[in-house]
Structure 1
């Protein structure tokens, strides 16, 4: 599913190059190796080169002078610096990250903090995740100071009761207040469920889980934010002090 999402994002972003613009040797090799050609690049050294994607990784392809042979791999300069990684980051990972950021912003999280806060952070959290509670607590000074908007997307997979707890919070009269009270109580105060979880609530939890999976995270908290270079950043697990400052900014 992740591979299909990334490929669809590449196509939607206009990053794939028309097959007619690609030499036969490069096209045939990429098709046989299941490589998606993104674009032709102006690589140093004069060899015609193309940027491609294999599974979820970038790859550079070089055409030999006779036009009949292809070399795949990384491009290095005379000092041994990997030049291909810069192409991958600029042309593949950063654009895909921005598309994924749009997807996160189109979701319906539990939103704490002002919409005009200078920083926005998304976190996938399970009601039974102790590190999610720790992260929520660490974030509060920035949220209260108006520096960060914290967006929580509840998922349910750690405990057999995770779905019931998450549903109770999402169906509360004020879900954000219910989540806050639940976190402040250390997981002891839960809204009284109003009957069984609605189909809509179950679908919401499933959508959150699918989105989390597509972003490559398999544990909570799974945290996402944009850095100063407008690149999507991921932190899975409880962030350390440096990571907290990177995502939230200076302490208020």
Structure 2
């Protein structure tokens, strides 16, 4: 009896897996377009549908009733709401965001504020970026109040001297204080060079630039934080007051 039950379960499992098999037309299309099929989804309307990923973007694929054609695009309801976004956020963007957040936390930023601060914000900043200075100044009330830990990742691409200034700051005994003095002076107070740029500092700047590129930012300040749903958020450029409160919380 147990053997018969086991065989029955195996057959049922095999049939279920076969039923979930990706149709040839969907498989061929996804392979031709370099789309990675993530899973079958229960899309409203009855059309068999699959969630796919093209590079870092989501895509939904739908099989026509004849089973011979595939439609690629977004799914909308009768009110014009994009239903595909919810699948993308849950299955693609949220996991990618968690991985990117891990990479940010594994970096070596200039930390201002306690590790116990309820909010943590990362910002890529160039020494010659005026909006980076403005953002740093705006963040200080939250940092001083213990509400936010500001993590600055220096990069060097805006000015021929960006690398020199960034290296001079990183080369001090207290880079956080050196960065603070530099920002408070409007970029006029630069530590005296203690020799040439070390290989370590050059490597740090290169790593920061690579990380910034991988996150899809091409300007500074490039700011990253987690929202209330623990989803990674990106703001490139100087945030407005509403954005500042969204990332930092109510102003102290």
Fold shared, TM-score > 0.5 on shorter chain: yes
1:207 matched to 2:207? The reply is: yes
**What's 1:230 paired with?**
230
Point out the more displaced range, 181-190 or 161-170. Answer: 181-190
SS of the counterpart of 1:40? strand
SS at match of 2:180: helix
Q: Secondary structure at the match of 1:153?
A: strand
Q: CA deviation at 1:65?
A: 3.3
TM alignment of 1:83-94, pairs within 5 A: 83-94=83-94
- Segments of 5+ residues of structure 1 without an aligned counterpart are 1-19
Deviation at 1:21, TM superposition (A): 4.1
Q: State the distance in 1 between where 2:113 and 2:22 align.
A: 49
Partner of 1:109: 109
> Hey, what's the Cα distance between the residues in 2 that align with 1:76 and 1:188?
54
Alignment partner, residue 135 of structure 2: 135
Q: Distance in 2 between matches of 1:159 and 1:141?
A: 29
1:43 matched residue in structure 2: 43
The residue number in structure 2 matching 1:120 is 120
Q: 1:31 Cα deviation (Å)? A: 0.6
Aligned position for 2:96: 96
Q: Secondary structure at the match of 2:65?
A: coil
> TM-score, with normalisation over the residues of structure 1?
0.89
Aligned length: 233
TM superposition shift of 1:82: 1.4
TM-score, structure 2 normalization: 0.89
Rounded to whole Å, the distance in 2 between the matches of 1:130 and 1:166 is 15
| Structure 1 CA distance for aligned equivalents of residues 30 and 224 of structure 2 | 32
The separation in 2 between residues aligned to 1:155 and 1:137, in whole angstroms, is 18
Partner residue, 1:191: 191
Q: 1:240 maps to what in 2?
A: 240
Report SS of the residue matched to 1:173.
Answer: coil
* Cα distance in structure 2, aligned partners of 1:23 and 1:109: 48
Residues 1:31 and 2:31 aligned together:
yes
Provide the alpha-carbon RMSD of the alignment: 1.3
Runs of 4+ with deviation above 6 angstroms: none
Query: How far 1:115 sits from its partner (Å)?
Result: 0.2
